[in-house]
Amino acid sequence: MNLQISSLFNALPGACAQGLIWGIMAIGVYITYKILDLADLTVDGTMCTGGAVCVVMLMSGHSIWFSMFCAFLAGMLAGLATGLLHTAMGIPAILAGILTQLSLYSVNLRILGGKANQAVSQDKYGLLVSLRWIRDVPFYRNTIFVVAVAVLLLVGLLYWFFGTELGCSIRATGSNANMSRAQGINTDFTKILGLMLSNGIVALASAFLSQYSGFVDINMGRGAIVVGLAAVIIGEVVFGRIHGNFAFRLLSVALGAIIYYIVMQTVMWLGLLGTNDNKLLSAIIVAVFLAIPYLREKYRGRAGKKGGVRHA
């Protein structure tokens, strides 16, 4: 039993590191799901595109910083495609995302040179993060520290951006598109920009994930939207009562991703489900955290009614 508990605690740093990386992805999902109020499924394709571009650029001899920047730009292009399908062609956002996602499968294969996966070694390339850099490394090389700094920088930049006039226009579009148009805001442009920013951040997370895993796979983004939504929902449920500013809401999304992976790791450790049941477990976690606010309000409503009857 002690060995099992020890194995769980040994696995938690890896879960935290992976949760932070997916937390970056979840912040991208938050922009479309919560700020723009759009259901964007492009991320399932973009979550592979960023990693594929990053790995291929590294293998071509480019620096890690330039490779990750190219991954971010590739994600923005994917968001641009979805945005144009939605705004210029009148296709509903969810269908536009599906179309782009399907297209990206072929695009990602082309980026990878027709191969289903590509490996990248931390011994050969100057990676920022790695699965091996969780323990026994200087703190500034530790994957958890590096990704945590990246999350804080991203939250800071987004907090600044969404406080600008352009950022406020995106937030206004998500709140009330009709009123925004009445105020002279080009809502088509803000939707496209929001989708580009969201998918660029998702691709950036993919670039981190490919370094962390040591490879990129054509199917690495499958079901990514579920993880992103899980992080957003868990962050709201756990930290929703804390009335923080916009920056804290973004940070709570990343913390939600960490909680998600810790829950996943704990369930696996308990032996309730196997590794082949990851997708089922993801769906169960999302369903549980989605149901918590509803059940909580329902219970309060019943308690309030009972209290009113007793008081009468």
Q: Are 199 and 78 in contact (CB under 8 A)?
A: yes
Q: Is the confidence at residue 271, as pLDDT, over 70?
A: no
Task: Give the residue-averaged pLDDT of 190-219.
Answer: 92
Nearest Cα residue to 237 out of 182, 290, 312, 158: 290
Secondary structure element (H or E) that encloses residue 310, with its range = helix 278-311
- Dist. CA 259–CA 256, nearest whole Å: 5
Q: Are 25 and 224 in contact (CB under 8 A)?
A: yes
- Give the rounded percent of residues in the chain with a pLDDT score beyond 70: 88
The structure's pTM equals 0.88
SS3 119: strand
Secondary structure element (H or E) that encloses residue 117, with its range = strand 117-119
What integer pLDDT is reported at residue 4 of this predicted model? 47
Alpha helices in 88-176 (DSSP H): 93-111, 143-161, 165-175
- Dist. CA 45–CA 100, nearest whole Å: 8
Which residue ranges make up each domain of the chain? 2-311
Q: Are 211 and 118 in contact (CB under 8 A)?
A: no
What is the per-residue pLDDT across 289-312, written as a single tens digit (0 to 9) for each?
A: 778 777 877 777 666 566 554 444
Q: Is the confidence at residue 285, as pLDDT, over 80?
A: no
What integer pLDDT is reported at residue 191 of this predicted model? 93
Q: Phi and psi for 215 in degrees, rounded to 5? A: -165, 165
For the purposes of burial, counting CB atoms within 10 Å of the CB of 281, is it exposed (0-12), middle (13-18) or buried (19 or more)? middle
Q: Is the confidence at residue 82, as pLDDT, over 50?
A: yes
CATH of 2-311, one of 1.10.20, 1.10.10, 1.10.260, 1.10.3470: 1.10.3470
What integer pLDDT is reported at residue 234 of this predicted model? 86
